[in-house]
Amino acid sequence: MRKMLAAVSRVLSGVAQKPASRVLVASRSFANDATFEIKKCDLHRLEEGPPVTTVLTREDGLRYYRMMQTVRRMELKADQLYKQKIIRGFCHLCDGQLLLPLMQEACCVGLEAGINPTDHLITAYRAHGFTFTRGLSVREILAELTGRRGGCAKGKGGSMHMYAKNFYGGNGIVGAQVPLGAGIALACKYFGKDEVCLTLYGDGAANQGQIFEAYNMAALWKLPCIFICENNRYGMGTSVERAAASTDYYKRGDFIPGLRVDGMDILCVREATRFAAAYCRSGKGPILMELQTYRYHGHSMSDPGVSYRTREEIQEVRSKSDPIMLLKDRMVNSNLASVEELKEIDVEVRKEIEDAAQFATADPEPPLEELGHHIYSSDPPFEVRGANQWIKFKSIS
Amino acid sequence: MSTPRGSLESDGRFEETSLDASSFTPLFILVTVREAINQGMDEELERDEKVFLLGEEVAQYDGAYKVSRGLWKKYGDKRIIDTPISEMGFAGIAVGAAMAGLRPICEFMTFNFSMQAIDQVINSAAKTYYMSGGLQPVPIVFRGPNGASAGVAAQHSQCFAAWYGHCPGLKVVSPWNSEDAKGLIKSAIRDNNPVVVLENELMYGVPFELSSEAQSKDFLVPIGKAKIERQGTHITVVSHSRPVGHCLEAATVLSKEGIECEVINMRTIRPMDIETIEASVMKTNHLVTVEGGWPQFGVGAEICARIMEGPAFNFLDAPAVRVTGADVPMPYAKILEDNSVPQVKDIIFAIKKTLNI
């Protein structure tokens, strides 16, 4: 708990502690904040939507930039470790390949910016970015990916099963997390603490029947659930046109109001999230957000991503909508930050990731004696059978 | 109507006590299995505000089998929730609520319908504490009637003890009588892990005596401990749920022929109390398992495998024998259905075969 709070405060404190170069930068004065225009959201069953302008403070901007860079570089590092076979199994990244660094960071950072730490979030398997924005350190995340004892799940879960306070994973079964999220929202309503639950799923999962069951019950019972469809236009190798009779994902909640949001613009995501959270907190029931993004990489590390789309398509989107470039340009052009300052953040982030990767590579694997641990919670120790009747593992809660 | 005083004999006769001051008998009350489950849930709902019940028809209809009668009237909409017919959805919602700190009781109208939701039970509930390295417990109860009923045919008669019993991370209990039902539902609700409670529709209306101890609000039956319902010396007969009653009937018949059966009521499928079974087999040297489910990969198969691996194997004078449901989807016609479930005569036959009589 303490480690997690430290991690959160590290992230939120934003500006780093580098005395020497700080002197250089501090001699220039920056604007405190700036106003930006953001894309209007398409609306479904809503009279009005989020505002089309927003104010970004220098402090927030620097913080978002650092967080997005951290997520990007963390994912790139995971990509590298996977290619070196230090990470095994599934590795679903929310970034692109080494030469195609554009992604879905605006989603995880933008969503977090629109809610409180006491709100709740659940997503599917492309979860590393959210695990970070919800408060875990890059160290714990990478060490979980490499399956070491210092991993956030002690090496028991891997890429798809990371948990933190008010963050419920990391779920491997496509669509199953959506009813779970509605259930977390039910708990929010039951406890009466004005909290909401962000329940994420992809365009592929959007065709799962259980999602419609969750929509129905969330609407019937007015659960404070924000259903969020991250539409990156491909479910594995199947484009949305080949999977869905209706690709207007923000309308598919039918009786649930919806918005379609530019998922590559962190400010747009933030405003939409604030709007949606306010809607839910007012007791009106669930709301649906579709975040339009693009997946540069293949579906996972084993997919080069070009058998079902053209390289031209990938290049074009990359050159026009990198969320980090977008934020950087805005901040520099409005005098919220300098290019040098942002470069400094890049350097710090790179170092943080390197250190974390070192740890994740050097930390030992979990001890074999712990194989049987954590079967049950709050129970006295018992024995778990191994591969044959003579191999026994002790199981501690 | 005054409550009759007396005791329920093992052959089913109710022997009323004469109200003679010179003969003092402890006071028991008769409670049906349905009432016992109802009381257990009521007491736990009262004890802990985080406990709530959801499922189809559990609230305003008082429960499809009236097991939750009176609870909605007492606790209201917030705590007794009628769901639409959406097993996968509401089971997932229940699991999510448990993850976020509530203690849901998720009812499946029968466990046959739990198949629609089985991914949520196994992948979202059972495995999560392990996958999270001990960070995320899931304190949830899945309950409902399991196994054969009467005349409901193949899609409504399956026993899920073996399927759920297969999975690490789950606890699976199978009450037979009222004491089991009340004590196990209370233990299940208080347990911080996902617990599957396999009730039996044909047992709901059957009355059993409940001791004054069992009537107390803190009475619990521990999960993971079997009960010896009848002591015996010649053979161990192990069962769970409704067939326990059939085993006791068989034991009464055989007793007249001088064969004394030790009847064990498993009460819990997982974690299985193999020690109680082993100790009994080491005493009697013979074993028959009895279950309502299909034979292949079933509860009896697991018991036999474990007996072979443990100290009791060397004490067996004959191979262990299984009595099970017939290896067919449940037929409808009465004569066919009757012969698709283990009857008392089948148990007696198996016991005599094992004893070579």
If you search the block for the tokens 């009812």, which residue do you land on? B107
pLDDT in tens, B243-298: 999 999 999 999 999 999 999 999 999 999 999 999 999 999 999 999 999 999 99
Q: Which of A113, A162, A144, A128 is nearest to A14 (CA)?
A: A113
Give me the pLDDT at residue B25, please: 41
Which range is least confidently modeled, A122-131, A302-311, A355-364? A302-311
Chain B residues near residue A172 by CB distance under 8 angstroms: 123
Tokens of A43: 């609306």
Token pair, residue B187, equals 């233990």
| pLDDT at B238 > cutoff 50 | yes
Cα→Cα distances A67→A4, A153, A171, A203, A261, Å: 16, 22, 23, 25, 20
Separation between Cα atoms, residue B230 and residue B248, nearest integer Å: 8
Q: Tell me, what's the pLDDT at A313?
A: 74
B304 Rama class: left (phi>0) / alpha (psi -120 to 50) / beta: alpha
Indicate the pTM of the whole model. 0.91
**pLDDT value of position B15:** 60
Taking the CA atoms of residue A288, residue A293, residue A297 and residue A299 in that order, the dihedral angle to the nearest 10 degrees is 20
How close does chain A come to B303, measured CA to CA in Å?
14
The alpha carbon of residue B164 and the mean position of all alpha carbons in its chain are separated, in whole angstroms, by: 13
B35-84 pLDDT, tens digit per residue, is 999 999 999 999 999 999 999 999 999 999 999 999 999 999 999 999 99
Tell me if residue B14 falls in helix, strand or coil: strand
The H-assigned helical ranges of B201-343 are 212-215, 243-255, 274-284, 299-309, 334-338
Q: How far apart are alpha carbons B61 and B39 in whole angstroms?
A: 17
Q: What is the pLDDT of residue A99?
A: 25
B49-85 b/e (C-beta count within 10 Å ≥ 16 → b) = ebbbbbbbbbbeebbbbebbeebbeebeeebbbbbee
Residue A101: band (very low, low, confident or very high) from pLDDT cuts 50, 70, 90: very low
Phi/psi at A109 (5° precision): -75, -40
Q: Look up residue B284 and give its two tokens.
A: 């009697």
% of chain A beyond a pLDDT of 90: 78
In this prediction, residue A126 carries a pLDDT of 87
Closest CA to A94 of A301, A326, A317: A301
Comparing C-alpha atoms, which of B167, B169, B173 is closest to residue B200?
B173
Tell me, what's the pLDDT at A311? 74
B265: three-class secondary structure by DSSP? strand
CA dist A121 and B100 (Å) reads 11
Give residue-wise pLDDT tens across range B182-202.
999 999 999 999 999 999 999
Of A180, A375, A382, the CB nearest to B99: A180
Query: Does the pLDDT at position A98 exceed 50?
Result: no
Q: Residue B219: its pLDDT value, please?
A: 97
Backbone angles phi, psi at A229, to 5 degrees: -100, 115
User: What residue of A is the nearest CA neighbor of B81?
Assistant: A221
Binary contact (A153, B124; C-beta < 8 A): no
Statement: residue B1 has pLDDT above 50: no
Phi, psi for B150 (deg, rounded to 5): -135, 110
**Closest-approach residue (CA) in chain B for A172:** B123
- Inter-chain CB proximity B168 and A191 less than 8 Å: no
Q: What is the nearest CA distance from A344 to chain B, expressed in angstroms?
A: 35
Q: Chains A, B: CB contacts under 8 A, how many?
A: 147
Indicate the pLDDT class of residue A96, thresholds 50, 70 and 90: very low
Contact between A226 and A276 under an 8 Å Cβ cutoff? The reply is yes
Which uninterrupted H or E stretch holds B288? strand B287-290
Cβ separation A163–B132 shorter than 8 A? yes
Cα–Cα nearest to B276, from B223, B313, B226: B226
How many whole angstroms separate alpha carbon A24 and alpha carbon A17? 13
The beta-strand segments (E) located in A233-339 are 234-235, 238-239, 258-262, 287-292
Query: Quick one: pLDDT band at residue B319, thresholds 50, 70, 90?
Result: very high
User: Residue B248, class by beta-carbon neighbours within 10 Å (0-12 exposed, 13-18 middle, 19+ buried)?
Assistant: buried
- Cβ contact A377–B83 (<8 Å): no
Active-site residues of B, by number, are: 87, 156
- Which residues in chain A have Cβ-Cβ distances shorter than 8 Å to B88? 179, 209-210, 213
Q: By CB neighbour count within 10 A (0-12 exposed, 13-18 middle, 19+ buried), where does A349 fall?
A: buried
In what side-by-side order are the strands of the sheet with A225-231? A42-44, A258-262, A287-292, A225-231, A197-202, A120-122
Q: Measured in whole angstroms, how far is the alpha carbon of residue A70 from the centre of its chain?
A: 12
Distances in Å between the Cα of A366 and the Cα atoms of A6, A61, A137, A357, A395 are: 24, 39, 19, 17, 14
Residues of A within 8 A of B130 (CB-CB) are 156, 374-375
Chain-chain contact of A180 with B130 (C-beta, under 8 angstroms): no
Interatomic CA distance for residues A266 and A63, integer angstroms: 12
- CA separation for the pair B198, B299 (Å, rounded): 13
Instruction: Please choose, from the candidates A147, A204, A149, the residue with its C-alpha nearest in 3D space to the C-alpha of residue A173.
Output: A204
Chain-chain contact of B88 with A379 (C-beta, under 8 angstroms): no
Question: How many Å apart are CA B7 and CA B23, to the nearest integer?
Answer: 14
Chain B residue with minimal CA distance to A154? B133
| Residue in A344, A331, A266, A271 with CA at minimum distance from that of residue A105 | A266
Nearest Cβ partner for B96 among A183, A209, A378: A183
Residue B319's Cα: distance from chain center in Å? 27
If 0-12 CB within 10 Å is exposed, 13-18 middle and 19+ buried, where does residue B107 land?
A: buried
Query: Which residues in chain B have Cβ-Cβ distances shorter than 8 Å to A197?
Result: 100
Q: Output DSSP code: residue A44.
A: E
Q: Per-residue b/e over A92-128, b at no fewer than 16 CB within 10 Å?
A: bbbbbbeebbbbbbbbbbbbbbbbeeebbbbbbbbbb
Q: Measured between beta carbons, which residues in chain B are less than 8 angstroms from residue A216? A: 84, 86, 89
With an 8 Å Cβ cutoff, are B102 and A187 in contact? yes
A120, A157, A378: residue with CB nearest B132: A157
Contact B102, B52 (CB under 8 A): yes
The reply to whether residue A377 touches residue B133, judged by beta carbons under 8 angstroms, is no
> Over the stretch A133-178, which tens digit does the pLDDT of each residue have?
999 999 999 999 999 999 999 999 999 999 999 999 989 999 999 9
Which residues does residue A43 pair with via DSSP β-bridges, in sequence order?
A259
Residue B198: phi and psi, rounded to 5, are -95, 100
Quote the pLDDT of residue B28. 87
Least reliable range by pLDDT among A31-35, A94-98, A373-377, B105-109: A94-98
User: A388: buried, middle or exposed (CB in 10 Å: 19+, 13-18, 0-12)?
Assistant: exposed
A-chain CB neighbours of B129 within 8 Å are: 374-377
Q: What integer pLDDT is reported at residue A4 of this predicted model?
A: 62
At residue B45, the pLDDT reads 98
Asked if the model's pLDDT at residue A310 lies above 80, the reply is no
Q: Best mutation site among B87, B127, B136, B193 for testing chain A: the one with the most A CBs within 10 Å?
A: B136
pLDDT > 70 fraction of chain B, expressed in percent and rounded: 93
Greater model confidence, A63 or A83: A63
Chain B residues touching A219 at Cβ < 8 A: none
CB B137 to CB A378 under 8 A?
A: yes
Q: What architecture is domain A41-370?
A: 3-Layer(aba) Sandwich (3.40)
Residues of B with CB under 8 A from a CB of A: 52, 78, 81, 83-84, 86, 88-102, 119-120, 123-124, 128-137, 139, 168-169, 171, 191-193, 271, 309
Q: Is the pLDDT of residue A86 over 60?
A: yes
Chain B residues closer than 8 Å to A220 by CB: 84
Per residue in A264-297, pLDDT tens?
999 999 999 999 999 999 999 999 999 998 766 6
* A213: chain B residues, CB-CB within 8 Å: 84, 86, 88-90
DSSP string, B98-158: HHTT-EEEEE-SSGGGGGGGHHIIIIIIITHHHHTTSS-----EEEEE-S--SS--GGG--
Mean confidence (pLDDT) of chain A: 90
Indicate if the pLDDT at residue A345 is higher than 70.
yes
Q: What pLDDT does A212 receive?
A: 98
Nearest to B271 among A210, A221, A382 (CB): A382
Task: Please judge whether B120 and A179 are an interchain contact, meaning their C-beta atoms are less than 8 angstroms apart.
Answer: yes
More confident position, B27 or B98: B98
**B193/A153 touch (CB, cutoff 8 Å), yes or no:** no
Q: Is the pLDDT of residue A16 over 50?
A: no
User: Is the per-residue pLDDT at A100 higher than 60?
Assistant: no
B84/A213 Cβ within 8 A: yes
CB atoms within 10 A of CB B246: 23
